[in-house]
Amino acid sequence: MLKSLSTLWPYLRRYRGGLALGLGSLLIKDALAAALPIIIKYGVDSLTRGFQLRIVMQFAALLIGLSVVKGIFQYWMRVITIGISRDIEYDLRNDLFSHLVELSQDFYARFRTGDIMARSTNDLNAVRMMLGPGVMYWTETSITLVLALAVMLHTDVRLTLIALIPAPLVTLAVILFGRRIHMRFEHIQKMFSDISSRVQENLAGVRVVRAYAQESAEVEQFERLNRDYIRENIGLARIQGMFMPLLQALIGITFLLVLWYGGKQLMLGRISLGSFVMFNTYMGMLIWPMIAFGWVVNLMQRGTASLNRINEILHQRPSIAAPGQALSPSDFPEEIRFRDITMSFGDRKAIDRVDLVIHTGETVAIVGHTGSGKTTLVSLMARLYDPTRGIVELGGIDIRRFDPKELRRQIGFVPQETFLFSATLAENIAWGVLNASREEIEWAAEVAGLGPDLETFAKGLDTLIGERGLTLSGGQKQRTAIARAILRNPRILILDDALSSVDTLTEEKILAGLAGVMRDRTTILISHRVSTVQNADRIVVLNHGRIVEMGSHRHLLDRGGYYADLYQKQLLEEELEAI
């Protein structure tokens, strides 16, 4: 448990000043609370010697004054402590998000999006409750217990010891029930992650769900998960429902013992009436600490279980990170060299012993059947992955010597799967470019072939395109992604099948617009269409992760290999479409 809590020490140190103020307020409040029964004792003992209204008014005024001051410090105790727990939650959430965006792609292959969201919301809330109400009431109850017992022991040792008879049973109950609560809550949080993942997947894939008429099946599956989640929560509620009444029963037994033995001592004249009243007042004060102790244990167990789940993410380290002395972007030229590259995913080789040089300012096209390793090859260039074997170099320098962030800033990458944000078209195009002017955004949109489409949008570039670009067609999404890439003015431009969703006429217009952009920079085109790649300086043909052909369009046609077959098939398809 202490190892898990060590994550929070930096945050607690950051707010140590506020925590000291909160603790100081708590101590003063508890000291004043502990003083109230003593005043009551002297007041009762004074009245037993003879009733005087003046004495009653004095003690009443003193009690009211102390209660008001106690209330003030109790207010600041809660405001400061609970406020700091909110601040720590805010900092921890920001740090968790910053850590998530730093992690490599292999992490997201192992953790589901819904699970990450559950840990970033529900689990963080449980940690906040542990740090706020949990720590505050734990400290408050502990101090109240110590102060009350000190006065009670001073008043009557035997009576105090009798009052403590149920204490071992309370401790045993806390240990047994606390362990069960922890295990059950950790399981519930995992189930909540499953539900979150299911909802996220269904919302992201709502078109597929509708296309296959699986609404009822998905609703049924969600209901099943929800029923299991409710059943586990009811089980937790049963445990908690047994825990709290058990504590209250033990408290009731304590009161009976105090009333029996204390009343006997009073009748024998061994303690005064004021002392007996004070003793019972302290017992009343200890009711809340004993009840709160059970609630605090519950909060602590929940918070610790959630913190373990958050730590599981925070302890993850990116497999791709900047070296100790990273080179700056200005230090590398743009020539790209793949030296004996092999890339494996488990037992499958996506790239197998590839050697390739892409010269500065050259346009190289990569073609091949689905699964031949085209996307994996360019992903190595942007260092989204590191090769299993071999080296990727830029100007003779291993790219692992560069800071991945700085490296990627020099690359305009349009991936196969276009992702757009729920923002305006202009904001999506300018994403990643600070202070992009309106003219630059319009230029990028025009080069990417979005000009005619903008005229059909009511607000043009200011059109809100919805989550994941829901209101755009596949071709419009791809052209928006192309505009986003060229607006970055990258030194290396990678188009990974970025024109697959547009017709050949639009493709020609886009390529004509890109010709000027591609002229002075290294460009890599991946496509299944010969029309897209035929004007490239070189065409690389991949088959099962290996380069089987390489050359110009005319050279590869003369060879009569895979590329020539692909060209003939596409010519036949065009002729059939024209009939």
Per DSSP, the three-state class of 125 is helix
Structure tokens that stand for 212 in this block: 């296959």
Looking at residue 528, its pLDDT comes to 78
Looking at residue 330, its pLDDT comes to 63
C-alpha distances in Å from residue 24, one per residue of 8, 17, 110, 130, 139:
21, 11, 46, 20, 11
pLDDT band at residue 21 under the 50/70/90 scheme: very high
Residue 191's contacts (CB-CB under 8 Å, 6 or more residues apart) are 225, 228, 229, 232
pLDDT tens, position by position, 508-520: 777 777 777 777 7
- Rounded Cα distance between 238 and 174, Å, is 15
- Rounded Cα distance between 411 and 399, Å, is 13
Residue among 397, 413, 383, 415 at smallest CA distance from 334: 397
Phi-psi region at 271: left, alpha or beta (left = phi > 0; alpha = psi -120 to 50): beta
For residue 412, list its beta bridge partners: 493
How does DSSP classify residue 272?
A: -
Please name the residue ranges forming H helices in 49-134: 53-102, 105-110, 113-118, 124-129
Structure tokens that stand for 499 in this block: 């024109």
- Rounded Cα distance between 158 and 258, Å, is 10
Phi and psi, residue 231, nearest 5°: -60, -40
Phi and psi, residue 396, nearest 5°: 85, 5
pLDDT tens, position by position, 338-379: 998 898 887 788 888 889 998 888 888 898 888 888 888 888
If one compares 100 and 54, the residue with the highest pLDDT of the two is 100
Any idea which fold 329-410+494-579 has? Rossmann fold (3.40.50)
DSSP tally for the chain: helices H, then strands E? 23, 10
Domain 417-489 falls under CATH 1.50.40.10: no
pLDDT tens, position by position, 91-127: 999 999 988 888 887 788 788 877 888 888 888 888 8
Phi and psi, residue 456, nearest 5°: -85, -15
For residue 397, list its beta bridge partners: 394
Looking at residue 329, its pLDDT comes to 61
Looking at residue 487, its pLDDT comes to 86
What is the domain partition of the chain in residue ranges? 2-314, 329-410+494-579, 417-489
Structure tokens that stand for 519 in this block: 């002229």
- Rounded Cα distance between 427 and 444, Å, is 12
Domain 2-314 falls under CATH 3.30.1490.270: no
Looking at residue 49, its pLDDT comes to 66
Phi and psi, residue 184, nearest 5°: -65, -40
For residue 522, list its beta bridge partners: 492
Lowest mean pLDDT among 115-119, 127-131, 270-274, 526-530: 270-274
For residue 551, list its beta bridge partners: 539
Q: How many CB atoms lie within 10 A of CB 337?
A: 18
Residue 229's contacts (CB-CB under 8 Å, 6 or more residues apart) are 188, 191, 192, 195
- Rounded Cα distance between 98 and 30, Å, is 40
Residue among 203, 174, 176, 244 at smallest CA distance from 114: 203
273 in Cβ contact with 48 (< 8 Å): yes
Q: Establish whether domains 2-314 and 417-489 are of one fold.
A: no
Looking at residue 575, its pLDDT comes to 64
Angle at 46 between CA 45 and CA 48, to 5 degrees: 65
Highest mean pLDDT among 55-64, 134-143, 262-271, 275-284: 134-143
**Where do we find the tokens 């460009």?**
523
The gap between the terminal CA atoms of the chain, to the nearest Å, is 74
pLDDT tens, position by position, 146-199: 888 887 787 778 877 877 777 677 767 776 777 787 778 778 877 887 888 788
Phi and psi, residue 2, nearest 5°: -65, -35
Which amino acid is it at 352?
Answer: D
- What mean pLDDT is reported for the chain? 81
pLDDT band at residue 456 under the 50/70/90 scheme: confident
Q: For the stretch 53-73, what's the b/e string if a residue is b when 16 or more beta carbons lie within 10 angstroms of its beta carbon? A: eeeeeebeeeeeeeeeebeeb
Phi and psi, residue 345, nearest 5°: -120, 100
Phi and psi, residue 543, nearest 5°: -145, 115
For residue 543, list its beta bridge partners: 546
How does DSSP classify residue 502?
A: S
How does DSSP classify residue 271?
A: S
Phi-psi region at 449: left, alpha or beta (left = phi > 0; alpha = psi -120 to 50): left
**Where do we find the tokens 């809100």?**
464
